[in-house]
Amino acid sequence: MKRRYWYVIITYITMQLSSFVGVPLLRSLGVGQGAQTRLEAAKIASGYWAVISFLLAFAIILWLLRGDRDERTMRRLPLASSWMRAISGVFLALAAQSVAANIEWRLLGIEPGSENTRQIIDIIRLTPLLVVVTSVIGPVLEELIFRKIIFGSLYEKYNFWLAALASSLLFALAHMEPEHLLLYTSMGMVFAFLYAKTGRIFVPMFAHVAMNTFVVAVQILLADELENMMRQAELPLAIWRIWL
C-alpha cells in the first residue's frame, strides 16, 4: 500500500477518535448551553464536533490524495456508462440491503432498526448542519478509505471476491453495529462491485451519497408515517431505518 494511503487511514481513524477530546472541549466553550437537558447539550456538541472534525479530515485527505488516480489495474468504463452504473447502483444497494435486512430479521432473529442511526437522526434534528456530514462528506470519505484505498490495494494482488469481502467486512465493523454485520457487508460488496466494474471511484460515491441522503430524508420527513404503515402491514422497519 502506498505510504500516503497509510496517512489517509491514520487521518480517518484520528478523526473518528477525536470526539473524546473535541466534544468536552466544545462543551467547555459553552456549546449546547441553552439545551434543556445535559444529554441534549452533549448531542449538540457532538453534532458540531462531527461537522468540524469531518470537514478538517476531508480537507487533509483530499490534500494527501491530490493527483491520485483510480487504480490502473481496473478497467475504466466510458464516462456516460459510468454515470448509468452510478444511478443504477443506488437501486442495487437498496435491493441488497433489503435482502440482507430480511435475512437478519427472518432467519437470524435480529430486530430491525439501528440504534446508531436513531442517535444520528436525533443529533441532526438538534444540529441540522450535521446532514452535510451524514449525506455527503461521510459517504465520500468511506468510499475513499474502504473502496479506493483498501479494496483498490487488495484488488491489485488478489481476486475481486477476496478484496471485496475483506474491505466490506472492515467497512461493516467500522459502523460499530456487529449485529448488522451482514447488512453493512452487503453494502460494501455492492460498492466494491460498482468500483471494480467502472474503475471510477465517483460511481460508488454517488450511489452511497444518494442512498444516505434518501435515508436521512425519509427518517426526518416521513418517519412516523412510514413506521405506522409498516407496523399495520406487519413489515420490518429495517428497509428504511438502518443504513447510516
Query: Which position among 71, 104, 143, 175 bears the catalytic label?
Result: 175
- Answer yes or no: are the C-beta atoms of 155 and 167 closer than 8 Å: no
Query: Which position among 142, 143, 180, 208 bears the catalytic label?
Result: 142
- Answer yes or no: are the C-beta atoms of 15 and 54 closer than 8 Å: yes
Cell digits for 192? 466494491
Position 31, amino acid: V
Active site residue 71: no
Cell digits for 230? 409498516
CA dihedral 13, 189, 132, 55 (to 10 degrees): 30
- Answer yes or no: are the C-beta atoms of 77 and 198 closer than 8 Å: yes
Active site residue 142: yes
Sign of the C-alpha dihedral, residues 1, 96, 79, 60? negative
Active site residues: 142, 175
